[in-house]
Amino acid sequence: ETGVTQTPRHLVMGMTNKKSLKCEQHLGHNAMYWYKQSAKKPLELMFVYNFKEQTENNSVPSRFSPECPNSSHLFLHLHTLQPEDSALYLCASSQDRSLEGTYEQYFGPGTRLTVT
Amino acid sequence: TQLLEQSPQFLSIQEGENLTVYCNSSSVFSSLQWYRQEPGEGPVLLVTVVTGGEVKKLKRLTFQFGDARKDSSLHITAAQPGDTGLYLCAGAGYGQNFVFGPGTRLSVLP
């Protein structure tokens, strides 16, 4: 248990569906991240939030829409996805990113998404 | 764009053997991390190294950061089945986000 929870753990959705992934951290962190992990690519950073403000959008298609209502919760809204979007979506949190120096990320268990 | 390479891609060994996996880049990093990821779980941070030439030990695991801060190695002594997993390295420049390597998938057979 890393202190970061993700729901659902598994999701199957059609290309016309709309669904949301949820992440919650209980570590008192102020930065949260979404990553995509697919079979043939390294872990890819999608979005970064620091104190609820988005600080990084790594050229992610608009069919992925993040939302960070507070420092403890992060959502990823999905709509009109493609089969190639099937992957493990990981959420992570860390200390405040405005501090200097390195930071340590704590990952949730991920949501295994399958787009049919 | 910073790219990290890891080798070997796959490694299968018997319990009790020693092994070393590598993480290499042409970029200089201000910090480098190693994670282990087990099936169905997210990556778990093992170590962070920030000084060139730095060596850190975590029980049977020894981590080394290259002098030029472009590469790192992870050595496991007397591997156990519980060491099985995907080992990921990640590097970051100062104030930048971490970039992950593709990982080494280790299988330790009893």
**CA–CA separation, B70 vs B92, rounded Å?**
11
A42 CB within 8 Å of a chain B CB = yes
Q: Most B CBs within 10 Å: which of A100, A105, A111, A112, as the mutation test of the B interface?
A: A105
Q: What does the radius of gyration of chain A's CA atoms come to, in whole angstroms? A: 14
Nearest-CB residue to B42 (from A42, A45, A90): A90
Q: Are A99 and A116 in contact (CB under 8 A)?
A: no
**A103: which 2 tokens?**
């930071």
Chain B hits for A100, Cβ within 8 Å: 95
B103 — phi, psi (to 5°)?
Answer: 95, 155
Per-residue pLDDT of chain B (110 residues; tens, 9 = 90+): 668 999 999 999 999 999 999 999 999 999 999 999 999 899 999 999 999 999 999 999 999 999 999 999 999 999 999 999 999 999 999 888 999 999 999 999 99
Locate the chain A residue with the closest alpha carbon to B51.
Answer: A102
